Structure 1
């Protein structure tokens, strides 16, 4: 394996697409959308816990490192669930120790939180990414990072649902913690 190659332990931690072109390709990487660095410096990605007694997806979110993930069977985020959060199909597409496989639904330990957790915020903003050639996806991700705000912004015709996340995380957008109506705006305060 080359140092520049994508490794299975990068899943949900390092974006497999967003990397500079040229001599640094594969050497400089970006965190995936939901990844975080823990207190020991290891990159973790979130998973939804499966209740082993009921085989239902719970609201509990556990962040796992690549080493911890190797011990568990992880279902894909797009696995079909019923209204009670149980797997519909008897066999589920999943990952175990870095291999994609199909296993019985009773064997699932975790489920991905989102199909977008594999890629970075810039890559997740590329519409129809799964249909793009990998070279075009690489160029698109790099262009997204370099995007310049518009003078007269308009809502996009096509979106991916990640635009609000990028705006929120930029630190330039002001958000309220609770619903409300803007009553008054001054240069130093906004009254909601």
Structure 2
């Protein structure tokens, strides 16, 4: 995905380009400094041109700008802290090994993260998020009932020790208590490999 740039001004239009399509355009980086009105703060911008070459171009020549600096790496790779300081082979092994992790009985969110842990956990669909804002009315191992602000009542079923397609244990645990206030999209139950709504693949070990 790229944001369209018209006459040196970044618009809210998002276009999805294939690899051969994007090669025909001049693309600026996502962290390029912009003015409040969406124009480029500097007259010359660092861009990627045909063939992947990097050069400085005039702001009027830019066709697109990246949506996020992270869009060039996968979700697993984006969860490696200080990725730019890692050897390429080690980073490759690290991102592959994250996909091979199995759920722990006691999940533990990493002390050092990149900010992708919450989105990775919630977007995967393994956690239960509140559909409406309200107050938690009842909590048990099997369900969570929320009295919504609009007067309706919602009961969320919690999966207990189901079998996943990979043959691992799929278990969800409520992380709210009776009387707690919940907002829309707030995580109310952890899934496997999550801790307080954040991705938790391993343990924070103390090593010598």
| Shorter-chain TM band | 0.5 to 0.7
- Work out which of the residue numbers 19, 23, 41 in structure 2 matches 1:70: 23
1:68 positional shift: 1.8
Distance 1:62 1:179 in 2: 33
- Aligned residue pair count: 145
Looking at secondary structure, tell me which structure has more strand per residue.
2
What stretches of structure 1 of length at least 5 have no aligned partner? 1-45
1:168 positional shift: 2.2
Gap change, CA 1:120 and 1:188, over 3 Å in 2: same
SS in structure 2 of the partner of residue 130 of structure 1: helix
What stretches of structure 2 of length at least 5 have no aligned partner? 149-208
Question: In the alignment, does 2:101 pair up with 1:143?
Answer: no
TM-score w.r.t. length of structure 1? 0.67
1:92 positional shift: 0.9
1:17-61 Cα distance to aligned partner (Å, 9 max, x none): xxxxxxxxxxxxxxxxxxxxxxxxxxxxx0011132xx2222221
Alignment of 1:25-174 (within 5 A): 46-52=1-7, 55-97=8-50, 98-174=52-128
Who wins on radius of gyration, i.e. which is larger? 2
Quick check: 1:125–1:144 contact (8 Å CA) kept in 2? Answer: no
Distance 1:162 1:47 in 2: 20
TM-score w.r.t. length of structure 2? 0.62
Distance 1:140 1:90 in 2: 40
Runs of 4+ off more than 4 Å: 177-181
SS in structure 1 of the partner of residue 93 of structure 2: helix
SS in structure 2 of the partner of residue 64 of structure 1: coil
1:190 positional shift: 4.2
CA RMSD of aligned residues (A): 2.1
